[in-house]
Structure 1
Amino acid sequence: MRISTLQAFNNGVNGIQRNYANATRTQEQISTGNRILTPADDPVASVRLLQLEQQQNVLSQYNSNLTAAKNSLTQEEVTLNSVNTVLQRVRELAVQAGNGGLDPQDRKAIAAELGEREDELLSLMNTRNARGEYLFSGFQGKTQPFVRGPDGSYSYQGDEGQRKLQVASSLNIAISDNGKSVFQSVTNAGRLSMSPAADTIVAPAVRLSAPLVNDEVAFAAFDFPAGGIEVRFADPADPKKYEIYEVGGSTVLSAGRLDEDDKSSDKLVFRGMTIHVDGVPSGTETFTVNRNGMEKQGILDTISSLRKSLENPATGNNGVRDAVAVALTNLDHGMVSVDQARGNIGARLNVIETTQTDNEDVALVNKGVQAELRELDYAEALSRLSMQTVVLEAAQQSYVKIAGLSLFNIMR
């Protein structure tokens, strides 16, 4: 085969350039510490690295969401702790107000502090987060959740939504609670009303308190008639004897007798309901118990009702006693609701903690796989560079010798 001088020169130059490019590329790998400089170096590993980087970015976003969720829940927990502290103080004031030895001025003093605690609770329930959104307004973060009306009652302006954040591929965690579920949907112990039957003449010294539902389990097990129940004192010979019927019914639901002590307030207990009876009936009275429709009552309305009872000079000892009894039971229900919300927050914080740990473990494995795919084996690269340097030097020296094999040099 005939090889021209030009072809020999081109082959030599191409060989030198190819060997020089190989050595330069190896030197660049060593200087960067990366085995893959372009996708062409290892297409399969390059695709896998891209997938791992995307996963790492998603984990970073999840970690940001976890931090935001933890901050929001921590603030809510602190707020609910403060609410619970205020409720404990309100309960102490309610117990103090139940002391029959207090005069109207003493009750007004208690009512004054109740008013201050009422304002404090209203402020806590309208707490904002760092973004200026209300904690307890559901999805309507810019709407103030609790508003006091002109008549002193409270209304909830938010919705029943619960804001959530995605903290894992298939896990969304609630970062807030709506105020209706925590502060408004509290079981009302005073949801029953008591009134004398239409044809009943009540003895002047007799008074029956509004029924108090103090055992929710027993009351829930009782199918309260839609028309209500009747408490009948129908034996003049034994005026303390009573029987309970469904309104208009003839079947005795319960029967009993009040205590013998005429000077004390007797209690009538039936299916989780308690009725205080002051005085001795004549034995001809009938009282009707009905639902008044207020199955739920907000914590603020409970405190407001107690405060108004204490502020009213016309409220006697019996009225104060009834108001305090309802308030204490409703406050206990309210604190149970707040404690349930705090327990749910604690459970979510535990989930956040374990999810953060899981994400850190996945990120660590992710980085390890990336290192195996991307990072350079320096021992192998240095050995390869040495070999490529030898080859390059050999190519350069051989090119010099071949370049000197010219016919003109012989003819000179």
Structure 2
Amino acid sequence: MRVSTGQIQRIMMQSMQQGGADYGKLLQQMGSGDRLLKPSDDPLATVRLQGIDKEISAIEQYEKNALQVTSRLGQQETQIDAMKDILLRLRDMTVEAGNGTYGLEERRALTQEMESLKESLLDLVNARNEEGHYLFSGSRTDVPAVAENPAGVFSYQGDDYQRQVSIANGVNVSANDTAEGLMFNGGNLLQDVHDFIQLLDTATGNISNDVADMLSSMDKGIGNLTRTLTDIGGRINGLEQVVATHGEMKVFGQGLHNELSALDYGEAAMNMQQMLLALQSSQQAFVNVNKLSLFNAL
């Protein structure tokens, strides 16, 4: 088979064009640091990278959810801890009110502070977050958890809804607690406090039974708050561990991503030298072929 000079020139031109394209691609890779410029460069690696990216995206969303729930639970924890402090103070004052030597005047002297503490307790139960939503109303975050309507009558206005937030694949955590569980679990603590203050302001006789009933109600309320605080603390600790695990998983996933997609600059530099040598050789050969002519042999 005879090969003409023109055919040789076309073959060598195609070879130089391909070499130039390969060299240009390598320059792009070195400029971006990515081994894969398009899916066809390595279809299998591309599929694996898509899976890794999807998993990292899911982890980041779980991590965001966990951090948001941690913040909300932290707000609740602060409010409930303050409620507990108020109830402990009210309990001490209730014990004092039960002093057998106290008459109406001494009891009335206690009611001013007790009334102030009751109002502070109501404010804490009706606390809002930075978005203006009530913390302890369940799903009815647009209404106060507890209303005094009519005056001196306290009732819960929310519901028992606890929002479940996904923090990992198949793992949910409760993001809120309700005033129903804090103040109305087995009674109506705010109502009991209000009624007891009214009693101290009017009663002249023996109130030992009333004091005992008030202490029982307060102890129940303090127990409810303590259990809720313990539960919230456990949830926060669990969330912190989940966030730490998500961080480790992201680092691992990003490491895999880099292994599959990142360019090996050492290998790329060697390939660049080889390509340059090949291009130079092709160009020299092309020049020499172009000089070939029958007239040179005459």
Q: Give the 3-state SS of the residue equivalent to 1:347 in structure 2.
A: helix
**Aligned mates of 1:60, 1:329 — CA distance in 2:** 47
In the other structure, the counterpart of 2:193 is: 303
Q: Which amino acid aligns with 1:393?
A: Q
Select 1:316's aligned residue among 185, 204, 207: 204
Indicate whether 1:356 and 2:257 are aligned: no
Given that 2:165 and 2:174 are in contact with CA atoms closer than 8 Å, whether structure 1 keeps it comes out as yes
Q: Higher relative CO (CA 8 A, sep ≥ 6), structure 1 or 2?
A: 2
Task: Give the Cα separation in 2 of the matches to 1:113 and 1:100.
Answer: 20
SS in 1 for 2:46: helix
Pairwise CA distance, 1:410: 6.0
Give the AA of the match of 2:106. Answer: D
1:163 aligns with 2:163: yes
Task: Write the letter of the residue equivalent to 2:126.
Answer: N
Task: Select 2:230's aligned residue among 343, 361, 364.
Answer: 343
Aligned length: 298
Question: Given that residues 138 and 158 in structure 1 are in contact (C-alpha distance below 8 angstroms), is that contact kept between their aligned partners in structure 2?
Answer: yes
Give the gaps of 5 or more residues in structure 1.
186-295
What aligned pairs does 1:7-406 form with structure 2 within 5 A after superposition?
7-185=7-185, 296-312=186-202, 315-318=203-206, 320-406=207-293
Identity among equivalent positions (%) equals 30
Distance in 2 between the 1:123 and 1:48 partners?
54
CA contact (8 A) 2:137 2:178 kept: yes
CA–CA distance in structure 2, aligned partners of residues 169 and 317 of structure 1: 63
Q: Is the contact between residue 20 and residue 279 of structure 2 (CA under 8 Å) also seen in structure 1?
A: yes
In the alignment, the residues of structure 2 paired with residue 351 and residue 30 of structure 1 have an alpha-carbon distance, to the nearest angstrom, of: 43
Runs of 5+ unmatched residues, structure 2: none
- Deviation of 1:176 after TM superposition, in Å, equals 0.8
Cα deviation digits, residues 246-292 of structure 1 (max 9, x gap):
xxxxxxxxxxxxxxxxxxxxxxxxxxxxxxxxxxxxxxxxxxxxxxx
The CA deviation at 1:409 is 6.0
When the two chains are superposed, the root-mean-square deviation of aligned CA atoms in Å is 1.5
Following the alignment from structure 1 to structure 2, what is the Cα–Cα distance between the partners of residues 363 and 300? 47
Distance 1:66 1:150 in 2: 40
The answer on whether the counterparts of 2:104 and 2:204 sit within 8 Å (CA) in structure 1 is: no
CA contact (8 A) 1:100 1:317 kept: no
Contact 1:165 1:172 in 2 (8 A): yes
Q: Which residue of 2 aligns with 1:219?
A: none
- Structure-1 separation of matches of 2:183 and 2:231: 15
Give, in whole Å, the separation in 1 of the partners of 2:148 and 2:103: 29
- Give the secondary-structure state (helix, strand or coil) at the position aligned to 2:176: coil
**Which amino acid in the other structure matches residue 200 of structure 2?**
L
Report if the CA contact (8 A) 1:70-1:349 is conserved: yes
> 1:379 & 1:404 partners in 2: Cα distance?
38
Contact 2:98 2:211 in 1 (8 A): yes
Task: Indicate if the aligned counterparts of 2:125 and 2:179 stay in contact, CA closer than 8 A.
Answer: yes
SS in 1 for 2:283: helix
Superposed CA offset, 1:126-183 (max 9, x none) = 0001221111000111121100122412100000001222111111111110111111
* Distance across 2 between alignment mates of 1:141 and 1:408: 97
Is the contact between residue 129 and residue 135 of structure 1 (CA under 8 Å) also seen in structure 2?
yes
> Aligned AA for 1:309?
L
Quick one: distance in 2 between partners of 1:18 and 1:175?
60
- Greater mean deviation of Cα atoms: 90-99 or 370-379: 370-379
How does the TM-score come out when normalised to structure 1?
A: 0.70
Specify the SS of the correspondent of 1:13.
Answer: helix
- SS of the equivalent of 1:317 reads coil
Q: Please tell me whether the aligned partners of residues 137 and 159 of structure 1 are also in contact (alpha carbons under 8 angstroms).
A: yes
Partners of 1:68 and 1:75 in 2: how far apart? 11
Whether the 8 Å contact between 1:182 and 1:338 is mirrored in structure 2 is yes
Report the 3-state secondary structure (helix = DSSP H, G, I; strand = E; otherwise coil) of the residue aligned with 1:144: coil
Larger Cα Rg: Structure 1 or Structure 2?
1
Partner Cα distance (2:63, 2:32) in 1: 30
d(CA) in 1 for partners of 2:120 and 2:163?
25
Q: Determine which structure has the larger strand proportion and give its number.
A: 1
